[in-house]
Amino acid sequence: MTTLIDGKALAKKIKEELRQEVDTLKEKGINPKLAVILVGDDPASQVYVRNKSKACEMVGVEFDEFLFPSSITQEELLGTIKKLNEDDSVNGILLQSPIPDHLDIREAFETIDPRKDVDGFNAINVGKLSIGDDCFIACTPYGIVKMFEEYNIELEGKRAVIIGRSNIVGKPMLQCMLKKNATVTVCHSKTKNIEDIIKEADIVICAMGKAKFVKDYMVKDGAVVIDVGMNRDENGKLCGDVDFENVSKKASFITPVPGGVGPMTIAMLMNNVVKATKMQNNM
């Protein structure tokens, strides 16, 4: 019997709990605030920012948006980040990616104050995650960890395969799984015999951006399958990196697309904003 991991319901539960924390903070005169920087007019990015704004409204976090044309210079972008770093009313800073090619996103992430880096992309937070220190964890991997905890999915000693090695999902996910004592293999575009590796996995986490790549014959019976993908199939329908219809017949747990990992990413962003607020107020 396959269990569907309901990310939408879990995200709602987490945001309701965060709302209570925010209400308590506000009673003490502390108002959590997230500043989001959006460069250019990428339609997907605009949707993501709108969703973050709605989540802030639900949780009670103030939301400040900084919109810039694609022609912005690196100096102007960094100048905005530095001003937000110095603004004590701002607790979290998020630079929505992607940004135009002429801008250096790595430098921009490094400019964000690590104490306000609620996306977990600053090298200081990345380094702290790798050595097991308390830090801001990238929101998608953090959301997946929370799913495992909510559904009592045991990770210790399990063989986990992560497909994709991005700085946003794959690499921080590796560190999160190691911290939970899983044995982890990371696969990518240069991996040989990838299907054979996937077949050995107790847990499969796919974040490669290729529609329905993971087929049922690649997954062993009873595996836990986490689909981070967000694609369109041949009919233009939203789908993940996993052939959900067929793989769901073999998996013990599986996330749907949509309604799985996506809502959890935003919930954990809210979590990080509240955490940043409390840290900055020595709480």
Q: What is the CATH number of the domain that holds 76?
A: 3.40.50.10860
Is 274 contained in some domain?
no
**Full residue range of the structural domain in which residue 91 is found:** 29-116
User: Per residue in 172-209, pLDDT tens?
Assistant: 999 999 999 999 999 999 999 999 999 999 999 999 99
Is 124 contained in some domain?
no
Name the residues annotated as catalytic: 52, 96, 119
DSSP class of 71: T
Query: Residues near 156 by Cβ (< 8 Å), separated by ≥ 6?
Result: 180, 181, 182
Give me the number of domains the chain comprises: 2
Q: Are residues 98 and 193 in the same domain?
A: no
Q: Are residues 144 and 227 in the same domain?
A: yes
Residue pointed to by tokens 């199939």: 233
Is 128 contained in some domain?
no
Phi and psi, residue 98, nearest 5°: -80, 165
pLDDT per residue, tens digit, the chain (283 aa), is 899 999 999 999 999 999 999 999 999 999 999 999 999 999 989 999 999 999 999 999 999 999 999 999 999 999 999 999 999 999 999 999 999 999 999 999 999 999 999 999 999 999 999 999 999 999 999 999 999 999 999 999 999 999 999 999 999 999 999 999 999 999 999 999 999 999 999 999 999 999 999 999 999 999 999 999 999 988 889 999 999 999 999 999 999 999 999 999 999 999 999 999 999 999 9
Q: Are residues 90 and 154 in the same domain?
A: no
Is 173 contained in some domain?
yes
Q: Are residues 85 and 146 in the same domain?
A: no
Q: Are residues 79 and 150 in the same domain?
A: no
Q: Are residues 151 and 251 in the same domain?
A: yes
Q: Are residues 161 and 218 in the same domain?
A: yes
Q: What is the CATH number of the domain that holds 240?
A: 3.40.50.720
pLDDT of res. 146: 98
Q: Are residues 102 and 188 in the same domain?
A: no
Bridge partners, residue 242, by sequence: 214
The phi-psi region of residue 79 (left if phi > 0; otherwise alpha if psi is between -120 and 50; otherwise beta) is alpha
Is 156 contained in some domain?
yes
Q: Are residues 99 and 159 in the same domain?
A: no
Q: Are residues 171 and 238 in the same domain?
A: yes
User: Per residue in 83-126, pLDDT tens?
Assistant: 999 999 999 999 999 999 999 999 999 999 999 999 999 999 99
Q: Are residues 97 and 205 in the same domain?
A: no
Q: Are residues 152 and 108 in the same domain?
A: no
Q: How many C-beta atoms surround the C-beta of residue 169 within 10 A? A: 25
Is 270 contained in some domain?
no
